[in-house]
Structure 1
Amino acid sequence: MAASTGDPEGGGRYGEDVFRPEQEGEGERIDFGALAYDETTMARLRALGVGPGWSCLDVGAGTGTVSRRLLEELGVESVLAVDRDVRFLARRPTPGLEVLESDITAPGFAPGRYRLVHARFVLMHLADRERVIANLAELVAPGGVLVLSDAVDLTNDRTPDTPYTEVMQAMWLGLRATIGTDVSWVPSCPQLLRGAGLVRAAAELYVPPLTPGSPISRFWADTWERSRAAMLATGTVDEDTIDAALLYLDSDECAALSAGMMTTWGWKPGPTG
């Protein structure tokens, strides 16, 4: 899970008010997300033809798992990994990997043009995401591709009433109120890429299975613990409900859908796209 940037609608910031990088276990939480989603991300990047000779920008790179796999598995030429806090990225220097500590929402963020621009679980935490998408599209070289992944909430008024459902819904409410996280816009991402001048926009959805002890289950458990105060502030759940959801998530009784990851891509018109 990538750390993100900016001044969201809730008035706080990811990494400062919730999910602080200096908090014990935060790198491990991000890596649980990577274990759940990296294979799907890499399969899509392979299918798009990412490989030798490509220059890549990985936005909100987190602990750098995608950045390093681009170099080590797909053989790309170079990767610039950007995050507002790069402590996790700096732990393991990798040939071809450059690390930049920067806020992508800051005026003048323009590190160059790249054949691949990738961001996962970043836009959902940012205000003015249409402007950010337009800026990212400008960083795509002609013939290159912009790939964005964000979460899709699969709970609704027909979802079975379980502690898991109550807490997942409270989490989205709490994060929106504190740091501005909003996933309601994510299904419109293909149209947003078209609006940013990209072509052949398409999308796919992946939902990792919730099984006891799985990376995604451990990711959600850690995420709920870190956002507990935000959830309690919504008034929709109490401590007992959160504790019951944690037990449910780690039990054979769990029968629920994780939030999905929707990946959207669009190409910059040009000679090699």
Structure 2
Amino acid sequence: MSAVPGDGRYGEAVFRPEQAGEGERIDFGALAYDDITMARLRAVGAGPGWRCLDVGAGTGTVSRRLLDEAGVDSVLAVDRDVRFLRERPLPGLDVLEADITAPDFVSGRFQLVHARFVLMHVPGRERLIAALAELVAPGGVLVLSDAVDLTSDRTPATPYSAAMRAMWQGLRATIGTDVSWVPSYPQLLRGVGLKPVAAELHAPPLLPDSALSRFWVDTWERSRAAMLATGLVDDAAVDEAVEYLGSEECAALSAGMFTVWGRRPEEGTG
């Protein structure tokens, strides 16, 4: 990505929570990725007795499933805007409105600290990973998921690939979104003392009228101005990408969800 990182904020410059349909856009992403996320969180041990922190919790789908399905004791769901979290209260779910880039945005330690599609949008990512790791209790786990762009110079030119390139570049120029460094997560988690560390990649299929396809359509609409500002697409090209995504002609690979997890050693272990 060649665009200079912008200094706007997610939720202000783009993806404003007060904009009609923003909660539904987030939920379309949840429908595409929540099952994979929950499988990983349960595999690392999330269950009864665990106190969990869900950073950038959005509409709270992961927080609620941790309580309902994994049976954890409590979840603290944190977001800069918590209107969606407060719409559906649940026993064991505590809500905190806070900016995670602020020092000491939360206190205490947790058996699980989880953040999905958050760090890619905020500055100071290495510092934030270190701060989140400090919130993990001994024996607990930090789980981070973010997007990776799976296109390359050999990716066939399609309306979809043109729109995605414009989106990534436009979001970088507007709010500083940067997914290029996401594959370095495993080394960053090792660097803050977590071990063992492992990672996986999931790329759900793009199918007409699927939750993921609807998520991208809504995302393009909300970031259209930023996409047009790149000069890579015009309105007609974005509209063509929307039509392509909903057609049987679509043969494309979605951005992947890269997930990494690392455990804080128990006290007295190396």
Q: Which bin holds the TM-score, normalised by the shorter protein? A: over 0.9
Task: Tell me which of 42, 48, 56 is aligned to 1:46.
Answer: 42
Q: Does 1:149 align with 2:149?
A: no
Determine the structure 1 residue equivalent to 2:130.
134
Residue ranges of structure 1 left out of the alignment (5+ in a row) = 1-7
| Distance (whole Å) between structure 2 residues aligned to residue 143 and residue 249 of structure 1 | 43
Taking the TM superposition and a 5 Å limit, the aligned residue runs for 1:163-174 are 163-174=159-170
Deviation at 1:161, TM superposition (A): 0.5
Determine the structure 1 residue equivalent to 2:31.
35
Q: Which whole-Å deviations, capped at 9, do the CAs of 1:92-148 have from their partners, x for residues lacking one?
A: 110000000000111222321000000000000011100000000000001100000
Deviation at 1:68, TM superposition (A): 0.3
| Distance (whole Å) between structure 1 residues aligned to residue 31 and residue 267 of structure 2 | 35
Q: Does 1:108 align with 2:104?
A: yes
Determine the structure 2 residue equivalent to 1:4.
none
**Equivalent residue pairs, number:** 266
**Aligned 8 A contact 1:143 1:272 in 2:** no
Determine the structure 1 residue equivalent to 2:225.
229
Determine the structure 2 residue equivalent to 1:123.
119
Task: Tell me which of 261, 266, 270 is aligned to 1:270.
Answer: 266
**CA distance 1:272–1:15, shift in 2 (3 Å):** farther
Q: Secondary structure at the match of 2:205?
A: coil
Deviation at 1:272, TM superposition (A): 11
Deviation at 1:215, TM superposition (A): 0.4
One-letter identity of the residue aligned with 2:176 = G
Taking the TM superposition and a 5 Å limit, the aligned residue runs for 1:114-263 are 114-263=110-259
One-letter identity of the residue aligned with 1:78 = S
One-letter identity of the residue aligned with 2:47 = G
* Percent of aligned pairs sharing the same letter: 76
| Distance (whole Å) between structure 2 residues aligned to residue 272 and residue 154 of structure 1 | 41
| Distance (whole Å) between structure 2 residues aligned to residue 64 and residue 264 of structure 1 | 20
Q: Does 1:56 align with 2:55?
A: no
Residue ranges of structure 2 left out of the alignment (5+ in a row) = none
One-letter identity of the residue aligned with 2:58 = G
| Distance (whole Å) between structure 2 residues aligned to residue 9 and residue 132 of structure 1 | 18
One-letter identity of the residue aligned with 2:76 = L
Deviation at 1:82, TM superposition (A): 0.2
Determine the structure 2 residue equivalent to 1:5.
none
| Distance (whole Å) between structure 1 residues aligned to residue 118 and residue 92 of structure 2 | 23
**Aligned 8 A contact 1:198 1:269 in 2:** yes
Taking the TM superposition and a 5 Å limit, the aligned residue runs for 1:20-99 are 20-99=16-95
Q: Which whole-Å deviations, capped at 9, do the CAs of 1:192-219 have from their partners, x for residues lacking one?
A: 1011111111100000100000000000
